[in-house]
Structure 1
Amino acid sequence: MDQEELRVKDYLLQGIFNGMFTLDDKMPSELALVEQFKVPRIKIRNVYQFIEKMGYIYSKQGVGRFLKHQRKTLDVVMTGDVSFSEKMRQQTENYKSIVTKLERVSTDHEIYYKPQIIPKHTIYLVERLRYIDNEPAALHRSYVIADHFPQIKQANNRLTSMYSFYKSNGINAFHSTFSNLSVSFPNELERALLSCEVLVPLVKVESDNWDKEQNQLLEYTEIIYRTDRFSFQL
């Protein structure tokens, strides 16, 4: 993106953030922006395609481009021992969690290269999609140490909350020894699972979860959040 395109992009994004453009009203036409900024039409089109990939606008063939409804973001507190599901239910009534995978992890999986994992451990992956307002908003992967919980193999779609699972097995105190946060753009699989545009940033949080009383590792966790659905408190 060159300087002329950046100037148009900054103008449009500032208008979106400041309320200059009204929800579902037509955005400025390409020809209007060509006249306003004195740049070739292809540059205006490039900017609009970029902003659409960011998830702020949508197109109607032969009609124009329109501002998308920007959904309310939910707070995620990155500390504490409250389950993700409980945090979400405190903020919205329209939340659900669906198990998308429950399977044993092969011994050549990258999870076995994590320093917290002992190679002899039997690990099960429990993957859940978190839905807010009927839209996928986060992907949660728990790599559970199945040696401690052989019953996990038969748990199936009941494992929407690992905290509830652990508590049902007599574990009530948890702690974590680390938390790593990284930001990326979604790959093809993540775009399909999370139904997000290519330029919607994702926040990935990796951490471990221990039984505090027994000092026993329960799981290694990866959570991938759509940043257009959450705000983060550290």
Structure 2
Amino acid sequence: MDAQELKIKDYLLEGIVTEQFKQDKKMPSEYMLVEQFNVPRIKVRNVYNLLEKMGYIYSRQGIGRFMKHQRKQLDVVMTGDVSFTEKMMNQTAHYKSIVTKVEQVSPEHSIYSKPYVDASNTLYLIERLRFIEDEPAAIHRSYVVVENFSEIKQASNRISSMYAFYKQHGFTDFHSSFSQLEVAFPTELDRVMLGCEMLVPLVRVESDNWANDQQILLEYTEILYRTDRFSFQLLEK
């Protein structure tokens, strides 16, 4: 991106951040920006293509570009010892969770290099796709220690909340010893599952989850949050 394109991008992003451009309203035309910045049309088109890949705008062929929906703020505690399902159900009437993968984890999986994960344990992956307002918002992967739950393989396809499952089996008090947060860009599989563009940043949170009374590891958790449609707040517990 050259200096002219950067100037156009900064102008448009400022309008997006300050809500000068409204949801589902038409963005400035290529012609208007060409005249305003005195640049070739290809530079304006390059900037718009970038903003579309970043998830800020969408195109209607032959009509123009439009602002995507404004973000909906949702409070999420970024640790593994708070139920995502319960938190979301308290904030929106339109939440659902779909199990997308259930499988035993290979001994060669990178999860076994994580803190506190014992190589002698058998892990079972339960992956869920979380929907807010009928849109995919997060991918939630729970790597469950099978030795603690002999029936996990039979029940896994019906599990939407791991915390509800744990409570049904006598585990009611939890804690995390750590949480690790980083920003990543979606893989091809992530983009398909979340329906997002390639330059939409994802917030990846990894943490462990322990049963307080028994002091045993229940699961290692990885959650991928979309950032183009939802703002996730760090809260004090």
TM-score (norm 2): 0.94
Residue of structure 2 equivalent to 1:97: 97
Residue of structure 2 equivalent to 1:84: 84
Listed one character per residue, the Cα deviations across residues 70-100 of structure 1 (whole Å, up to 9, x for unaligned) are 2412121225843100000111000001111
In structure 2, the CA distance between the partners of 1:180 and 1:22, relative to structure 1 (3 Å rule), is closer
Residue of structure 2 equivalent to 1:19: 19
Residue of structure 2 equivalent to 1:116: 116
Residue of structure 1 equivalent to 2:68: 68
Aligned ranges for residues 1-234 of structure 1 at < 5 Å?
A: 1-79=1-79, 81-228=81-228, 229-234=230-235
CA distance in 1, matches of 2:185, 2:80: 27
CA distance in 1, matches of 2:21, 2:120: 58
Query: Aligned partner of 1:8: which letter?
Result: I
Secondary structure at 1:112 match in 2: helix
Cα deviation for residue 29 of structure 1 reads 1.2
Cα deviation for residue 34 of structure 1 reads 0.8
CA distance in 2, matches of 1:213, 1:156: 24
Secondary structure at 1:50 match in 2: helix
CA distance in 2, matches of 1:25, 1:178: 43
Contact 1:56 1:70 in 2 (8 A): no
Secondary structure at 1:150 match in 2: coil
- Large movers: runs of 4+ above 6 Å: none
Query: Aligned partner of 1:192: which letter?
Result: V
CA distance in 1, matches of 2:72, 2:149: 38
User: RCO (CA 8 Å, sep 6+): is it higher in 1 or 2?
Assistant: 2
Secondary structure at 1:55 match in 2: coil
Query: Aligned partner of 1:31: which letter?
Result: Y
Q: Which piece of structure 1 moves more, 224-233 or 88-97?
A: 224-233
Matched residues, number: 234
Secondary structure at 1:74 match in 2: strand
Secondary structure at 2:65 match in 1: strand
Q: Which piece of structure 1 moves more, 127-136 or 80-89?
A: 80-89
Cα deviation for residue 42 of structure 1 reads 0.8
CA distance in 2, matches of 1:41, 1:178: 50
Provide the identity percentage. 65
Q: Which piece of structure 1 moves more, 10-19 or 41-50?
A: 10-19
Contact 2:175 2:209 in 1 (8 A): yes
Contact 2:80 2:209 in 1 (8 A): no
CA distance in 2, matches of 1:104, 1:81: 23
TM-score (norm 1): 0.96
Listed one character per residue, the Cα deviations across residues 87-130 of structure 1 (whole Å, up to 9, x for unaligned) are 00111000001111111111111111223111111110011110
Cα deviation for residue 18 of structure 1 reads 2.0
Query: Aligned partner of 1:66: which letter?
Result: F
Contact 2:71 2:231 in 1 (8 A): no
